Amino acid sequence: MRVVVVGVGAVGWRVAAQLSLRHEVVVVDVDESVLSELSEFADVDVVVGDGSRPSVLVSAGVGRADYLVAATHDDTTNIVICVVGKSLAPGVRTVARVKSIDYFMMWGRGGRVAGIDLMITATPLVARAVADVIEYPGLRSLTELVRDVVIGEAVEEPSKHGRIWVGEVAGRRVVIGARKDVLAAFRRSRPRRAVLVGASPTNKILAPILAKRGLRTYIIEPDRARAEEVAKEVGDAVVLIGNPSDEVFWRRERLAEGSAVITSLGSDDSTLYASLLAKHLGASRVFAIAHRGSSIPIYEEAGVIAYSPEEMVAEKIIVSLKGSDIVGTAGTIPGIQAIAVRVHPGTALAGKTPSQLPYLVPAIIRGGELLITAPDTRIEPGDTAIILTQKERLGELEI
């Protein structure tokens, strides 16, 4: 498989490096020094230039590519790259990374819009991940893998194991099961209020969800104009104008104690400081949206639950390039990727048992029912297998 990746930020770097383990990868970026650094780290070819220009995509060999991945920091640029790439090579599969939920919703309503075969954003994934666990202190994350089947990370032992799988994977306590069964295994405790720090796309989605559940919901936004704009969009949530790094502001508004706080600011430094401040002032739980996945251990050491949208997008792109038999993927557990794949005759999974495979298969879906596997369970054509693997091995995965 030949893949052209345009943009070497956090997403493009991870996609290119992982895919280069088994595939031919060409990377395009305007920054020659970044390309030079990547080419020393991974087995990739590089092209210096603006990937939205036809001549540059031709130089990158888009006409011979199976996939074109647009992963720059700018949504509009990524859309243009896909449009130009599809015009030059109608047979190439195009993937656009976007941050704007508006673009994503437009694409979802219209199918393949403007030559984009797949559009990926982490914004709703992160919002849903927080919303699903905010009232369950025993769960760090919970993500839908396929219809009604979820995977999560537990920080407490579940009260009952009967219908769910619980196991230690890479030092994490992982749970898999039907949503109602997983939630029934953990205690529920509602925070006094939800405080969303920063009027980010994630927090704008999250605010009305939490408010509709009856949680008193506040958004702190330092920019007055943006705060006034967001106040018109978020319904019952209260928007406060203030500096989230100012301890006096927090104490005056009495926001932290007993609250669930979700920090999502423009930079990781600001997000980290606001998270630590909220924790220091008595927040019951603190969630953070971190741009750099490598910073997640820093948050965790301070007792903050962190998600990296860039890392989640990169992993979703990598998995999506592995074929149409993949029906679900989840990457909210640090270091672990879950994949749900349909099993067909002659594929790597068909006729095998979990003990014969180089990755974990803790459960399968057979006839619409979730079954916890044993080491000798035979995986049959027609099953949907749930696979757990290390994120760093995604590029090598054969399914």
- For 47-68, write each residue's pLDDT tens digit: 999 999 999 999 999 999 999 9
What confidence score (pLDDT) does residue 215 get?
92
Q: What pairs with residue 317 in β-bridges?
A: none
Q: What is the CATH number of the domain that holds 241?
A: 3.40.50.720
Domain enclosing residue 369, as ranges: 317-396
Is residue 342 domain-shared with residue 293, that is, in the same domain?
A: no
Q: For residue 386, is it within any domain?
A: yes
Is residue 299 domain-shared with residue 361, that is, in the same domain?
A: no
Q: For residue 361, is it within any domain?
A: yes
Q: What pairs with residue 240 in β-bridges?
A: 220
What confidence score (pLDDT) does residue 111 get?
53
User: Are the C-beta atoms of 200 and 264 separated by less than 8 Å?
Assistant: yes
Is residue 209 domain-shared with residue 290, that is, in the same domain?
A: yes
Q: What is the CATH number of the domain that holds 324?
A: 3.30.70.1450
Q: Which residue, of 247, 272, 307, is where some domain finishes? A: 307
Is residue 301 domain-shared with residue 332, that is, in the same domain?
A: no
Q: For residue 278, is it within any domain?
A: yes
- The β-bridge relationship of strands 217-221 and 194-197 is parallel
What confidence score (pLDDT) does residue 135 get?
94
Instruction: Count Cβ neighbours within 10 Å for each residue of 102-138 and write b for 16 or more, e otherwise.
Output: ebbeebeeeeebebbbbbbbbbebbbbbbbbbbbbbb
For residue 227, with 0-12 CB atoms within 10 Å meaning exposed, 13-18 middle and 19 or more buried, which class applies? middle
CA separation for the pair 137, 131 (Å, rounded)? 12
Q: Which uninterrupted H or E stretch holds 195?
A: strand 194-197
Q: How far does Cα 294 stand from its chain's mean position? A: 14
Is residue 202 domain-shared with residue 274, that is, in the same domain?
A: yes
Q: Six-digit token pair at 270?
A: 């600001």
- The β-bridge relationship of strands 384-390 and 360-366 is antiparallel
> In this structure, is the dihedral angle defined by the CA atoms of residues 310, 313, 318 and 319, taken in order, positive or negative?
positive
Say what the pTM is. Answer: 0.86
Q: What pairs with residue 307 in β-bridges?
A: 289
Condensed to tens digits (0 to 9), the pLDDT of residues 264-300 reads: 998 899 999 999 999 999 999 999 999 888 889 999 9
What confidence score (pLDDT) does residue 85 get?
96
Q: Six-digit token pair at 274?
A: 């606001």
Is residue 31 domain-shared with residue 115, that is, in the same domain?
A: yes
CA separation for the pair 385, 327 (Å, rounded)? 10
Taking each helix axis from N to C end, the angle separating 10-19 and 32-41, rounded to the nearest 10 degrees, works out to: 30
Q: For residue 79, is it within any domain?
A: yes
What confidence score (pLDDT) does residue 8 get?
94
Number of domains into which the chain is organized: 3
Is residue 326 domain-shared with residue 269, that is, in the same domain?
A: no
Non-local (6+) Cβ contacts of 250 within 8 A are: 244, 256, 277, 278, 281
Is residue 345 domain-shared with residue 277, that is, in the same domain?
A: no
User: Are the C-beta atoms of 312 and 291 separated by less than 8 Å?
Assistant: no
Q: For residue 172, is it within any domain?
A: no
Q: Which amino acid is at 365?
A: I
Q: For residue 177, is it within any domain?
A: no
Q: Which residue, of 65, 94, 121, is where some domain finishes? A: 121
Residues of the chain with pLDDT under 50: none
Q: For residue 295, is it within any domain?
A: yes
* DSSP type of residue 396: G
State the chain's maximal CA–CA distance in angstroms.
65
Is residue 219 domain-shared with residue 255, that is, in the same domain?
A: yes
User: Are the C-beta atoms of 10 and 34 separated by less than 8 Å?
Assistant: no
Q: Which uninterrupted H or E stretch holds 264?
A: none
Q: For residue 137, is it within any domain?
A: no
Q: Six-digit token pair at 198?
A: 């920063």
Is residue 298 domain-shared with residue 372, that is, in the same domain?
A: no
Q: What angle do CA 221, 227, 233 make, to 5 degrees?
A: 120
Q: What pairs with residue 85 in β-bridges?
A: none
Q: Which residue, of 93, 121, 149, is where some domain finishes? A: 121
Q: Which uninterrupted H or E stretch holds 139?
A: strand 139-146
What confidence score (pLDDT) does residue 236 get?
86
Is residue 356 domain-shared with residue 302, that is, in the same domain?
A: no
Is residue 330 domain-shared with residue 370, that is, in the same domain?
A: yes
